[in-house]
Amino acid sequence: MTTVAGIQGGTDSSPYALSHLDALESEAVHIFREVAGEFENPVILFSGGKDSILMLHLALKAFAPAPVPFALLHVDTGHNFPEVLEYRDRTVAKHNLRLHVASVQDYIDRGVLKERPDGTRNPLQTLPLTEKIQSERFDAVFGGGRRDEEKARAKERVFSLRDEFSQWDPRRQRPELWQLYNGRHAPGEHVRVFPLSNWTELDVWQYIAREGIELPEIYFAHERDVFQRGGMWLTAGEWGGPKDGETVERRLVRYRTVGDMSCTGAVDSDAVTLEQVITEIAASRLTERGATRADDKLSEAAMEDRKREGYF
């Protein structure tokens, strides 16, 4: 038996107890390395939002000093925030990564997808995403989904098998035992991998603050032209707002999530630093999605239904 002199574990006051952020970080890194070891052609879904930025940061640490052995995949709705696209391209260049883009606008231009009457493009992402996975033969697709986001996601596995149509079947999920992740899949199938499954929104922000990770500036309070629709402040722009009866106001806002401009709402905020953002979130009585996502309010099972079809 090997013992190390001076190490006495057993209580939280022990220097060998990990903080919750260290434990979550270690678990996520373990998941990244499992995928690197077991799959041929993994890819990281990267939207330029905080969760995907955090995933990339963890991947960089997991393989240091070697480069990240994965490419990035962005599903571009055509209604992205310009600040986020700028951040995306700068990040790809900085780390010398490969970027794949699946474009919703292309599908609309080709007549394969039709614009929805409500103008939201979020549900339209599923087809470009799943076709890109098939055409590039990605066998593992990292997503930044967290179980705390939504009740259907609370049922999601870390390794989630998808069939050749990218469908999620909650009744046929593999039990996940210990840290023994099962990534076996048939040709044409792939596995969605969620290294941030056990993180909460607050964990994400605390870790970003601890690590000093740079974010797109729309996460911090700034003045913006917005208008109200469905109880949310949406950014005015060429994508389709405001319409008749909707009026533009200039307000001090920030974003809690980053997505399609047509369905991602801003929140009133004067938080300009990470510490202020964390204080604001810790005190918030609304969940991230409840506060800022129009598409999840469409029905009681909106997220589950989209996930079943192949959404992440």
Rounded-to-integer distance, Cα 268 and Cα 64, Å:
39
β-bridge mates for residue 268, sequence order: 253
CB nearer to another protein: pick between 111 and 231: 231
CB of 190 to another protein, least distance (A): 12
CB nearer to another protein: pick between 82 and 188: 188
DSSP state, 234?
E
CB of 10 to another protein, least distance (A): 5
CB nearer to another protein: pick between 75 and 152: 152
CB of 276 to another protein, least distance (A): 10
Pair 31, 183: CB distance under 8 Å: no
The token duo for 39 is 């799959």
Pair 232, 265: CB distance under 8 Å: yes
CB nearer to another protein: pick between 83 and 304: 304
Rounded-to-integer distance, Cα 232 and Cα 263, Å:
9
CB nearer to another protein: pick between 82 and 170: 170
The token duo for 156 is 């999601």
CB nearer to another protein: pick between 34 and 76: 34
CA-nearest of 214, 169, 166 to 191 is 166
CB nearer to another protein: pick between 243 and 285: 285
Q: Which residue's structure tokens are 């905020």?
A: 269
CB nearer to another protein: pick between 100 and 297: 297
Pair 58, 32: CB distance under 8 Å: yes
Query: What amino acid occupies position 85?
Result: L
CB of 202 to another protein, least distance (A): 7
CB of 118 to another protein, least distance (A): 20
Rounded-to-integer distance, Cα 306 and Cα 312, Å:
8
Rounded-to-integer distance, Cα 267 and Cα 284, Å:
11
CB nearer to another protein: pick between 72 and 274: 274
Rounded-to-integer distance, Cα 34 and Cα 30, Å:
6
DSSP line for 37-100 = HH-SSEEEE--SSHHHHHHHHHHHHHHTTSPPS-EEEEEE-S---HHHHHHHHHHHHHTT--EE
CB of 32 to another protein, least distance (A): 9
CB of 195 to another protein, least distance (A): 11
- The counts of H helices and E strands in the chain are 9, 10
CB of 264 to another protein, least distance (A): 16
CB of 247 to another protein, least distance (A): 25
Rounded-to-integer distance, Cα 14 and Cα 8, Å:
7
